[in-house]
Amino acid sequence: MRALLLDDHGDLAVVGRQEPGTLPGTTVVRVTGCGLCGTDRHITRGEYPAKRPVVLGHEFGGIVQATTPGSGVQVGDLVSVDPNITCGRCTDCQAGRTAFCPELTAIGVDIDGGLSELIGAPNTQIHRLDAHVSPLHAAFAEPLACCLRGMDLAGLSGGERVAVLGGGVMGQLVAQLARLAGAEVVMVTRNATRQNLAVDLGARSGVSLDVAEQVVANSGGFDTVFECAGSTQTFLGAQRLARRGGSVIVLGLTAQDDVVPMRPFDLVVQELRIVGSFLNPLTHARACTLISSGTVVLDPLISRVIGLAEVPAALRAEAAPGEVKIVVDPSQ
């Protein structure tokens, strides 16, 4: 079978690999869709810790090809794979803080992932999607699960003014979830295509960061600001958009060594709540339920579908203007 391998030197190439066997406690999945993520770019550039060599891809799902006892699914089922494998025994796992498990192993980061025609994954990581779901939509369960974690931390109750910084897939999903929670949502991104997409999907408006800051100067800040762009500029901008006593939920991932200047005085006087949101602790099943129900709109978020051979160029390049999500179909 074919897979996209990141080797010891940081080079990406499609290689031939042995097909996974049906080991006890595992399910074999033929991958139908794997999303390319900003984390994949960081890994490729050496900006995020990962094993090398490794087959990339942590946002994926597909059709079950083989099962073992306890899988809970059948051959032919459409499934999503939760990439974050935890021990289930430690204090953090028992408390529901699975993202902090000291034995956390991430598929596509620490072990071979979904940029492959076939993959064997532990039964514990397999989540079934309804048969009517597009096979490409299986690639959205992981980012949606991460967004649900951010929503849980935000604790929206309805009626809040919310700003979402970043019009990529995380920002578009968070904007939809915040709207479903009863918030008034403003999408903050410099790209007009992404602004318009967010408005089409329920945001009240789409503006650039400088315009959003002018809105704040004229009419007050936002109750909750979600930082989904993963840049130092938007991390600082999110704090300027929040009202006194407001919250900033940080989902965007910068390079590991990025630093920003901050004034503790402002943090205290503004009484800001700045919270990081990491991975998908106990939210993957909920994401699959939302996808199966059609509650979140996904088709407009797919910018293009590519094959494995096109992935190296896509990861080395910056996202094209207006691009939201590239989905890889390994069969192409």
Catalytic residues: 39, 42
Note whether 271 and 264 are within 8 A (CB): no
Sign of the CA dihedral 48, 280, 236, 318? positive
Give buried/exposed letters for 76-107 (b at 16+ CB in 10 A, else e). Answer: ebbbbbbbbbbeeebebbeeeebbebeebebb
Q: Which two tokens stand for residue 73?
A: 């699914």
> Of 162, 177, 175, 149, whose CA–CA distance to 291 is shortest?
177
Close Cβ partners of 135 (under 8 Å, ≥ 6 residues apart) = 32, 33, 61, 62, 63, 78
Note whether 203 and 222 are within 8 A (CB): no
Amino acid residing at 253: L
Q: Which two tokens stand for residue 104?
A: 């956390």
Q: Which two tokens stand for residue 316?
A: 């080395």
In whole angstroms, give the CA distance from residue 284 to residue 141.
7
In whole angstroms, give the CA distance from residue 230 to residue 227.
7
